[in-house]
Amino acid sequence: MEFWNLLMQILLLLVAAFLMGLLAERLKQSPIIGYLFAGILIGPWVFNTEAIFQLSELGVALLLFSIGLEFSFKRLKSLGVMAFGGGTLQVSVTMVVFALGFLIFRPLGEALALGAMVALSSTAVVMRVLVDRAEIDSPRGRNAMGILLLQDIAVVPLVIMVTMIGQGGSETSVYPAIAKTVFGAVGMVVLFYLLFNFLVPRLLKSRTVHPSRDLIILLTIIMAVGSSWLAHALGLSPALGAFIAGMMLAECEFAAQIRSDIGPIRTLFVTLFFTSIGMLANPQWMIFHLRWIAAGLAVMIIGKVLIIYGIARLLGNPGTQALATGIILAQIGEFSFVLATTARGFSLVDENTFNLIVSVTIISIFLSPYMVSHGGKIAQQFMKMISSQGARSVLSEDETASEMFEKILIIGFGPAGQNVAEGLLETGIKPSVLELRPAMARVAREWGLTVHMGDAEHDEVLKHAGLGSACLVVVTIPDPRSVKDIVRNIRRLSPESNVIARSRYNIHTAEIEKAGAHLTVDEEVILGKYLSKHVIDCLQGRGDFDFSCACALAGLPEES
């Protein structure tokens, strides 16, 4: 009977989430907003909240498992100093600064616990919006990803810290917990490496498993849920365990299929996660304490933006991009609820403080989709408001470069930009490059090219890069929305310059052309034509394999 009551409550939450998510979509908002409202509305009707919260934790783990499938260790390494140095600084500095502020009103132990809660941002919300908007590969997306990954790793030591404070700081209880965490994490990584690099690929390629879609889906669920359970059993974050498992599988050739198979079950539990956050709200308490909530929200957002901006600038990011990263991460995250619950369990925080931190967290998560979606534009507009000297501060040491610019300007020097430059150099044409990432700019300089550092969405940066004297501008960056904004700025600042732009997805091609691109290279169309050519070549015997049977079935003439 208990099971069916729980099932009824889950069904009620899902129906409410569907209806509110549908309303949010109609209003051109993120469905996440609808899910949160559904939790607030249906929360009083749900009495088995503990079971719902446990299921929602699995949702976060599945979300990070699917994200991990897109991030191999090589790609994680490419995030560079922002992931390890920037993330460590962000968590440490944010916790200390806010703890010092709370220390005016609260005891040291409670102040540290509250500072730890504020230090974390919402991995689930930020990553969901960045992936949906195809901005995960944008500079601000990579910055946010690096910091968020370090925050997820920091959850475990922060929980240990709060537990230590709650237990009175006994070293005899803390050191064993730390040792268990370290050895557990190392053992889990070794086990996952062996499983996902040797056993799982062989299973997926076997004649028994490979032809059966059902077995592949079942194995996928086992890997995703099993990695979460193992991490929890070892005293680690289930979401961190799932993410590491996903990264281990990212090198597997079946990673895309696994990510697709886990999609429906991930959607189910992630939806429960967002509704469960809404269930924590106490609407009556929030109404009577609006001023405290507003003040806490303002201090938290402004403080986190300034801290992250300063750290990003310290690590060499341009001003606009550093500010955008700060705006994207200026919320309190879902794992802060774990810290808040732990602190309340040890009586470190009273009920009013707990309600305040939960209220600020929920409202900040409400605002997060807008902050992530419009963070870049907000940062750009803010930078335009400051003096011309301040606006030019986003430029690099190339400020004193020669005023003679090449006639072709390549924006973005990733793999696509490098191929464009290589082709031009072979014909004797030497382009100039506008690049945001220091590593890619260094590569361009090694090629002997003139490099201008800065964000191409900023007017001053485009002007400094010689846009006015460029007869042709090639935009090669992968983020479709940034491409659209850059093309629009180019056409506004230099109407006579010709623009060739990259469109990563077909759905964005028309928007980029409408923004003013003279020629748009649609990656999906090009890929389709390339695949078609090779298919015909193979069927006509011009490939490396004998396709005579296929030729006969297709009715195509063979060629020797």
Domain boundaries, the chain: 57-262+282-348, 404-517, 523-560
- The C-alpha atoms of residue 47 and residue 5 are separated, in whole angstroms, by 10
Question: Which stretches of 487-549 are assigned E, i.e. beta strand?
Answer: 498-503, 519-522
Tokens 């968020």, residue located: 148
Q: How far is it, in rounded angstroms, from Cα 306 to Cα 161?
A: 25
- Tell me the C-alpha distance between 114 and 165, whole Å: 12
Q: Is the dihedral of CA 383, 416, 437, 75 positive or negative?
A: positive
Spatial distance between the Cα atoms of 420 and 519, rounded to a whole number of angstroms: 15
**Whole-number Å distance between alpha carbons of 424 and 204:** 43
- Rounded distance between C-alpha atoms, residue 159 and residue 139, angstroms: 31
Burial label, 166 (beta-carbon count in 10 A; 0-12, 13-18, 19+): middle
- Terminal-residue alpha carbon distance, the chain: 71
Distances (CA, A) of 415 to 316, 434, 477: 22, 14, 9
- Tens-digit pLDDT profile for the chain (560 aa)? 577 887 888 888 889 889 998 998 887 677 877 888 888 888 777 767 777 777 777 777 777 787 677 666 666 666 667 767 888 899 999 999 999 999 888 888 889 999 999 999 988 788 778 766 667 767 788 888 888 888 877 777 787 788 778 766 555 555 676 677 678 778 888 888 888 878 888 887 777 776 676 787 788 888 888 888 888 888 777 877 887 888 788 777 667 667 667 777 778 877 887 888 788 778 888 899 999 999 999 999 999 999 999 999 898 888 888 899 999 999 998 778 778 877 887 888 888 888 899 899 888 988 888 888 888 888 888 887 874 444 444 433 333 333 333 479 999 998 999 999 999 998 888 899 998 777 788 899 899 998 887 778 777 678 777 787 788 999 999 888 889 989 998 988 888 889 999 998 888 899 899 989 999 999 888 888 888 888 887 777 666 555 555 555 455 555 54
352, with CB counted inside 10 A (0-12, 13-18, 19+), is: exposed
Q: How many CA atoms lie within 13 A of 208 on its CB side?
A: 3
Per-residue model confidence (pLDDT) at position 231: 84
Residue 437 Cα distances to 171, 246, 421, 445, 514, angstroms: 44, 26, 17, 12, 28
Of the chain, the percentage scoring pLDDT greater than 70 comes to 84
Q: Which amino acid would we find at residue 136?
A: I
The CA distance from 322 to 1, in Å, is 54
Q: Interior CA angle at 141 toward 473 and 336, to 5°?
A: 165
472-475 and 450-453: which strand pairing? Answer: unpaired
> Tell me, what DSSP letter sits at residue 507?
G
Question: To which H or E segment does residue 402 belong?
Answer: none
* Separation of alpha carbons 331 and 275, rounded Å: 18
> Is 0.85 surpassed by the pTM of this model?
no
pLDDT at 134: 61
- Tens digits of per-residue pLDDT, 78-117? 666 776 788 889 999 999 999 999 988 888 888 999 999 9
The phi and psi torsions of 472 (rounded to 5 degrees) equal -140, 130
Q: Write the Ramachandran bin of 30: left for phi over 0, alpha for psi from -120 to 50, otherwise beta.
A: beta
Q: Output Rg (C-alpha) for the chain, integer angstroms.
A: 26
pLDDT at 421: 93
In the chain, what's the furthest Cα-to-Cα distance?
85
Q: Give me the residues paired with residue 503 across strands.
A: 522
Q: In the prediction, which pLDDT does 199 show?
A: 85
336: tokens are 């802060």
Please name the residue ranges forming H helices in 347-479.
351-385, 388-391, 415-426, 438-446, 459-464
Residues 6+ apart with CB under 8 A from 394: 318, 319, 320, 321, 383, 454, 455, 458, 460, 461
Helix, strand or coil, per DSSP, at residue 519: strand
The pLDDT value recorded for residue 57 is 74
Q: Do domains 57-262+282-348 and 404-517 have the same CATH topology?
A: no
In three-state secondary structure terms, 292 is helix
**CA separation (Å) from 20 to 32, 257, 328?**
9, 30, 24
**C-beta neighbour count of 23 within 10 angstroms:** 15
Half-sphere exposure of residue 327: CA atoms within 13 angstroms, side-chain side: 22
Inter-residue contact 470 to 458 (CB < 8 Å) = no
CA 105 to chain centre: 35
Q: Which of the 8 DSSP states describes residue 85?
A: I
- Strand order of the β-sheet with 450-453 is 450-453, 432-435, 408-411, 472-475, 498-503, 519-522
Are the CB atoms for 558 and 541 separated by under 8 Å?
yes
Quick check: helix, strand or coil at residue 137? Answer: coil
CA distance 489 to 385: 17
Outline where 386-414 has alpha helix (H).
Answer: 388-391
- The predicted structure's pLDDT at residue 401: 34
- Fold adopted by 57-262+282-348: Na+/H+ antiporter like fold (1.20.1530)
For the domain spanning 404-517, the CATH number is: 3.40.50.720
Comparing CA positions, the residue from 557, 40, 454 lying closest to residue 276 is 40
